[in-house]
A and B are shown apart, each in its own frame.
Chain A
Amino acid sequence: DQQVKQNSPSLSVQEGRISILNCDYTNSMFDYFLWYKKYPAEGPTFLISISSIKDKNEDGRFTVFLNKSAKHLSLHIVPSQPGDSAVYFCAARSGTASKLTFGTGTRLQVTL
């Protein structure tokens, strides 16, 4: 029973356009949601997070939107750059930062 789902395994976007990565969850007890970026042969690195009491958080080119009623969140990257090409994981936290539940990841390719 996967509590965090990323239904798109891959996404290709042109440089300069918007990238939208989606994530759905089932557990209403999740209180924080995080996005991680992962390059090959490296560990995941934190990108942006959002509390379950907010509906939007912005950091530079990255914005995360949370729709709690739909149990859906999305990561928007504007404008997309070639260096953004990586695997993006959505993760959810329930009460403690030591236990994260991850989605299966979406591979983003930003083309020239």
Chain B
Amino acid sequence: NAGVTQTPKFQVLKTGQSMTLQCAQDMNHEYMSWYRQDPGMGLRLIHYSVGAGITDQGEVPNGYNVSRSTTEDFPLRLLSAAPSQTSVYFCASSYPSRGGTEAFFGQGTRLTVV
């Protein structure tokens, strides 16, 4: 049971380059989200999706794009990488419940922009 899988685990980009962080889940969860973790800042929501074809912005969406063509996949695109996007990125998925259902997180992608 893989859960939430993120690739790659590590990436170094040059300023201005673009790339896609991959996220896949095999739990048939409707909800998926992307967070970034920075020192002293906790995890901040970038974009989220409540189902295939539906996405919305979180707290820090600038410089990132997302799409959700299938339930399983939720890629995060960096359009033109900047040093301020150096961070650890986490993808999460969860059930669409109004109860206390927790989000399941992937292992993270550590991105460095030089």
Contact = CB atoms under 8 A, between A and B. Distances in A.
B33 A89 contact: no
Contact of B105 (A32, A43, A98, A101): A43
Nearest to B51: A98
Interface string A53-68: 0000000000000000
A45 B94 contact: no
B58 A32 contact: no
Contacts of A95: 98
A96 B50 CA distance: 9
B31 A102 contact: no
Number of chain A interface residues as a range? 20 to 34
A42 B104 contact: no
A42 to B, nearest CB: 6
Contact of B104 (A46, A91, A105): A46
Number of chain B interface residues as a range? 20 to 34
B43 interface: yes
Contact of A104 (B41, B59, B98): B41
Interface in A9-62: 31-32, 34, 36, 41-46, 49-51
Contacts of A89: 42-43
B78 interface: no
7 contacts: A97-B95, A98-B32, A100-B43, A100-B103, A101-B45, A102-B44, A104-B42
Interface of A: 4, 6, 31-32, 34, 36, 41-46, 49-51, 89, 91, 95-105
Nearest first, the 5 closest Cβ-Cβ pairs linking A and B are A43-B105, A46-B102, A98-B31, A49-B100, A97-B94
